[in-house]
Amino acid sequence: MLEYGYCKLCNQFKPLLNESHIIPKFIYKQGGFDISKKIKLLSYDINSKIKDESGVSPIFDSKILCQECDNIKLGKDLEDYSAKVIFNKNLSPRLAPINIQNFVSDGNTRGNIFENINYTKFKLFILSILWRASISKNIFFDNVDLGKHEELIRNMIYNCDAKTVDIYPIFIQYWWYSNITTDIIIKPTRIRYKNGFRYRLVMSGFIFDIFISSNIVTDEMLEYAICPEGKITLIQVNEFHLRNEVTLFKFLSGTD
């Protein structure tokens, strides 16, 4: 029997679910490619030691969301679409991302530019994971504390309003072309950046950098962020960071 309480997303007094995943289920299942495969949960400490936290506790919280917000607002409206985009699976040609350019910059930065991305759904999906991590009581997310931004992001998610590109800009990198496993989730990190913070989420071969506070990202940087025109730039992790697992994990956790 579900207990009643105030849902963290809609703020209404409703029956609350016993299990609400902070990181969506499809991330663990690699988009459904191998549902028997378990992704490692890792943290990285200042002594250059990689700690496997897979058995610490499940990555869900109880009694934080109602069924409508968990299953529809977050699940159907955001996660269903984003799962298909991330794993390039089961999207009609009309909705599928289009790879319009592979590039190598003067600084030997490599990447891919995609169009036809639903800016609102995809940006809010990533922000929703950060927001859920902030409201979570799970120790795996104890680095995430959005403070006043928690309510601002909650409003964006609930009202399906992704704002402009400079409001909580998001940048994406990936390393799936290397020989190092992508079947990991790194404990989120918070790094001070100018007069604000940058949060880093690492999941299944992707790095999501989310900048908190306004006016801390230059216009030049914003060209690489998820943008309202539906364009997204994916940057390959530099080979320097892929020499071995330690150098990669230092980079992923923001301690390099």
The DSSP bridge pattern shows strands 50-52 and 13-16 to be unpaired
Segment 116-128 shows an average pLDDT of 96
What is the overall mean pLDDT for the chain? 82
Q: What is the mean pLDDT of residues 116-138?
A: 95
For the cut 70, the answer to whether the pLDDT of residue 57 exceeds it is no
d(CA 44, CA 249): 7
Tell whether the model's pLDDT for residue 55 goes beyond 70: no
Q: Is the pLDDT of residue 179 over 60?
A: yes
Q: Report the pLDDT averaged over residues 214-225.
A: 87
Q: Crossing angle of helices 149-158/119-135, nearest 10°?
A: 140
Answer with the residue of higher pLDDT: 186 or 9.
9
For the chain, how many structural domains are there in total?
1
pTM of the model: 0.86
Domain that holds residue 193: 3-252
Contact 131, 119 (CB under 8 A): no
The pLDDT value recorded for residue 47 is: 47
* Cα gap 61→69, rounded to integer Å: 14
Confidence band (pLDDT; 50, 70, 90) for 250? low
